[in-house]
Structure 1
């Protein structure tokens, strides 16, 4: 009996440090950063420098995995259902909360729900920007609205999919301006931008990151922006609020999420790592160059932001209603 007790006690002494080391070692292998859109969109632009900074910090690979489709729902759902061990993360956009509500409106069971994901940290929160081709006839927002009123349904705009951030922002503007625009959904912000640059569509509500370089290169013209104040890099572009559209305010944010059952110790490690990662000079340079300055929020600050913004966006989706 005493021998069995000694063996059990010895096993406990041996196993306990092993368990502690396993927790302390996170991450001990590659950590996937899922982006629910094709390359080139806002989530991708934020995810890549964040993953690079984490790789330098952790000395482990952090590959960005683009898993697009269904306006972001496929990639979001894949992380919601992933093993909750901290090795599959999501760089989500504000559409995260809108897509399940859109499914309900259209009589479909949501492929995921927001309570399946734990908010880890907000990285950026930028207003979207209304951009058109530089050779278009519209030099001002007033030009655009006047033409749209003359030709209802004739002006086309692209988006990252039905009920995506880019769709909802344009729907908010069109409703406030009393104009009818033709929505052409694509499978992500990158393809939506390509459609505008190629002339397939005529307008786009873009995140500032993807739009800034195209505006600087003279390929696109920015007519207005959805923020309460003018965004860095777009200081010469008026806001919709300045133009009298008081209810047109929208932000495309990017934040890191994990499956909700991820252990608290791993979530804490992730938050601490991301707090350190956003101080990385390479990350700061990359996001500044993309026109997406860091707006880091973690813990209760991000959870509150996410809850309040999600409620506002769900109401916006409900106003759009069913999309055939």
Structure 2
């Protein structure tokens, strides 16, 4: 497939041959394991809360605080994650997220009392925010422009996969004893966290981050791995250098290593205090889409699925948990459909179609 080289390239009318790069796809898949873990934690908690309430004898308010504390702690971790990823890189930030999530999972799985369970949940919440901030960034920076829509949507697919696995885990482990079942549901997430921390170290760093560090030779090596041709790699490197404010004719071995903090000076002021009309529209669209996506209440449906089905007249615990598996399968199926159409139909058309569906639902 031939596409024109994007803006920032000195020869915008040239064409380069692009195609699906399996190595880049593999890198994104590995990075997205952290979002599977997040999805699992969200899905599994919906069923685990039933058994936690029964064993620890906590009231509804404590259950709600336990469920909502993940998002509250994730909010605290948001500003930290981006800054840390600029300092230590995307790869090491994903490793850090895995370790934090591992500690939180062990704490929740152990959970002899409500306080310990809450501490584990809050720790996992910080790891979740790191994951949700960095996995999409890494995916976008590894992907080529022609497949960025597909690869950047993988984190969302992996969240849906994780939610489905969490629902299935509820159904399976719910058949064990009360004391053991919910602890296995929550604690087993520590295993993939440990595997991810080891696996991500075999993946390359983001080429964009390497360029921002002045490591142009390293960035070139990564781009050659995640591009199909040398021409494509050079075109992508040219665009990244232009965005970073590095002279196109500057040689790889003479660029001074920068402090990444200088690259972000004035960004928040530009966004919030004196945005250009274009930036203002982009900011409004980005905030609006994300806010109303969550304001629909779909996360509450996912998190409180078993209780909703109980209120609807489904009284068996097994049937509560089995019904949520159907919700998880539906969610994953339609994300797969959206991914297949994303780079063909376009983002706006799919967004309008999904919004219409939400209104009717």
More strand by share: 1
Same fold (TM over 0.5): no
The alignment's TM-score, normalised by the length of structure 2, stands at 0.21
More helix by share: 2
The alignment's TM-score, normalised by the length of structure 1, stands at 0.23
